[in-house]
């Protein structure tokens, strides 16, 4: 692909721009449960984040409001904490990959920038307030707003609709191989994010 043929760069958020630690949530919530089985953080982690059946999934595709999600967790896990104490436990799990943020910044105004993320209202509100890099993007395509999570084709189709160009003019960057595979099948140019040096090499040819 030539430099001029690339019009849009579509970044994943978690573990590309913002690494995170979901297990930290489970560890902290385990201190507030009144259910014996959930005093093991691994049980909470599985309950929340199992890929197929995790309790977070309906929240991340917009089927539950934040209040509904919290109340369901409080009931199922028998949590003895108020929402205001739950919020920082849920949210304070991210840190910034500064070198990737700098790459995003270097393309601002040169290519259109999109963010394609499996996320939820609490997390996105938090990262938007804490990490200025999020505001560099021209468009956020978020699972809880569009009703689909990667690797569903539909969320990638929303990205194509926004971009208004053929997928071969879009570079999609994600750390999950299954997400990259679906994007590739739809005609996107893709990069499976494994390391910063490899991403730098991929992007270096597109800087003006």
Per-residue pLDDT of 84-95, as tens digits, reads 999 999 999 999
- Whether the pLDDT of residue 3 is over 90: the answer is no
For the stretch 5-14, pLDDT in tens is 899 999 999 9
What is the Cα–Cα distance from 12 to 176, expressed in whole angstroms?
9
pTM of the model: 0.95
Condensed to tens digits (0 to 9), the pLDDT of residues 120-175 reads 999 999 999 999 999 999 999 999 999 999 999 999 999 999 999 999 999 999 99
Residue 48: pLDDT over 80: yes
Is residue 1 predicted with pLDDT exceeding 80?
Answer: no
41 within 8 A of 27, measured Cβ to Cβ: yes
Residues 153, 127: Cα–Cα separation, whole Å: 25
Q: Per-residue pLDDT averaged across 98-124, rounded?
A: 98
CATH number of 3-19+96-204: 3.40.50.1000
Strands (E), the chain: 8-11, 112-117, 139-142, 170-174, 189-192
Helix axes 83-91, 66-77, angle to 10 degrees: 100
Q: What is the pLDDT of residue 5?
A: 87
The mean pLDDT of the chain is 97
Q: Residue 51: its pLDDT value, please?
A: 87
Could you tell me which residues come within 8 angstroms of residue 108 by beta carbon, excluding any fewer than 6 positions away?
136
What is the mean pLDDT of the segment spanning 100-127?
A: 98
Ordered by start, the domain boundaries in the chain are 3-19+96-204, 22-91
User: In this predicted structure, what is the pLDDT of residue 6?
Assistant: 96
Within 13 Å and on the Cβ side, how many CA atoms surround 149?
17
Asked whether the predicted pLDDT for residue 208 surpasses 70, the reply is: no
């Amino acid at each position: 692909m030539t430099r001029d043929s690339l019009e849009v760069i579509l970044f994943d958020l978690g573990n590309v721009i913002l690494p995170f630690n979901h297990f930290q949530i489970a560890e902290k919530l385990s201190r507030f449960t009144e259910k014996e089985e959930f005093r093991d953080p691994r049980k909470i982690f599985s309950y929340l984040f199992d890929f197929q059946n995790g309790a977070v999934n309906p929240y991340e595709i917009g089927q539950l409001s934040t209040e509904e999600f919290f109340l369901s967790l409080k009931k199922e896990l028998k949590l003895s904490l108020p929402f205001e104490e739950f919020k920082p436990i849920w949210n304070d799990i991210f840190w910034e990959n500064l070198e990737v943020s700098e790459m995003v910044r270097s393309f601002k105004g040169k290519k259109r920038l999109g963010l394609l993320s499996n996320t939820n209202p609490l997390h996105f509100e938090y990262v938007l307030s804490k990490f200025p890099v999020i505001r560099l993007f021209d468009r956020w395509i978020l699972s809880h707003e569009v009703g689909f999570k990667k690797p569903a084709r539909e969320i990638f189709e929303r990205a194509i609709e926004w971009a208004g160009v053929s997928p071969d003019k879009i570079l999609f960057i994600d750390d999950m191989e299954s997400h990259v595979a679906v994007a590739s099948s739809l005609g996107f140019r893709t990069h499976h994010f494994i390391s910063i040096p490899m991403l730098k090499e991929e992007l270096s040819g597109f800087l003006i």
